[in-house]
Chains A and B, each alone.
Chain A
Amino acid sequence: MSEIIKVGIADINVVSPPDTIRTTGLGSCVGVILFDQINKIAGMAHIMLPDSSLSKAPALNKGKYADTAIRSLYEMLINLGANRKALKAKIAGGAQMFQFSSGNEMMRIGPRNVERVKEELYSLEIPLIASDTGGSSGRTIEFDPNTTLLTIKTVNAGIKVI
């Protein structure tokens, strides 16, 4: 029996076949999947904010920020036996749920999250092989580590597989 591993907001989790991994209701948050297709290990992070320097909390929640979440996920996968050189990434999310005329930086959080995720992947030399970002729709995503396909569900555009 395969199970669906859930990833909450600001959460990180790992998966191996036959299970799949899923996060629901991504708005301006970004779902980042790192996977090693040969060793069949994958993980997902549901990040909310671009950079851990924004944190004013006494204890840092690493899963919340693009920079720390991607590094944590990377380390988790390496510890589980993933090959550093085989790791690839897929991302989805980073929507702009509401359109505002005012130029408040916080309101542009979706695009900023995506930019920061890409920077972090680049610095870890992980190729980003597929992405579905931006727009104004929420997304629910599910990744299958066996086929390495990412299924993206939106309210109006139906289902898309990348």
Chain B
Amino acid sequence: MDFLKIQPIHLDILREIGNIGAGHAATALSKMLNKAVDMKVPSVNVISFEEISEMVGGAENVVASVFLRIVGDAPGCMFFMLPIEQAELLLKDLLGGQRVQLAGDDVSEISLSALQEVGNILSGSYLTSFSDFTSLNLQPSVPATSIDMAGAILSFGLFEISTVSDYAIVIDTAFTDIEKQDEVKGHFFLLPDPESFSKIFLALGVPLDE
């Protein structure tokens, strides 16, 4: 994959994927919480591995995350990541007001399981719309959860891309509360594998120039 062949229109396409995907996920989230959830305009960036961690507050910042592999026509990795406090609030809402604690090493099974299920539903709706939009056959793997340093988690999504490049194309969509716009609730990261880009662009009728 040659990043130089990527034209502004290709970045627009990826941004639209983020828009549609995360839009559906935001709808699913607001149904689950029974309150309005807003999302920011997705950003699509070609960035170094270091910078990806910076997007979620630095490599050492502790976050709650759900990770899944996308299998099918255009494989890749997907992360749903949110600050611990936001994850606790989200799960508290979902589990009927029960206090949820995600920090420390005695995190309850139900909290982790609920987090995984939230990630599952949200990434499922993201992926379904991504798949519908591109007519590509895409399926999620069983999601896995981890509460740990952002850098350690994100590097897990970089192995495929790291064999071809020191940079990754990241499609990032941030969620916010509709009342408190500047408070970011979470991030969706979509990291297509290097060879998936040409397939995505081809599927949408704008192939990369060879």
Spell out A's residues near B (CB within 8 Å). Answer: 8-10, 24-29, 48-49, 54-57, 61, 64, 95, 97-102, 104, 106, 109, 136-140, 155-157
**In the bound complex, do residue B163 and residue A138 qualify as a contact, i.e. CB atoms below 8 Å apart?**
no
Partner of B148, one of A100, A102, A106, A138: A138
CA of A128 to CA of B105, assembled, Å: 30
State the total of A-B contacts with C-beta under 8 angstroms.
103
Main secondary structure of the interface of A (DSSP, over half): loop
Contact A109 B152 (CB under 8 A): no
Q: Do A25 and B144 touch across chains, with their CB atoms under 8 A apart? A: no
Q: How many interface residues does B have (CB within 8 Å)?
A: 35
Residues of B within 8 A of A64 (CB): 162, 166
Q: A55-B163, A56-B163 are in contact. List 9 more A-B contacts (CB 8 A).
A: A8-B50, A9-B151, A24-B151, A25-B149, A28-B152, A48-B158, A56-B164, A109-B159, A157-B105
Residues of B within 8 A of A (CB): 49-50, 53, 58-60, 62, 67, 69, 104-105, 141-142, 144-156, 158-160, 162-166, 194
Q: Is the CB of A155 within 8 A of B149?
A: yes
Contact A138 B162 (CB under 8 A): no
Q: What B residues does A106 contact at CB under 8 A? A: 159-160
With the chains together, A49 CA to B161 CA distance in Å?
Answer: 11
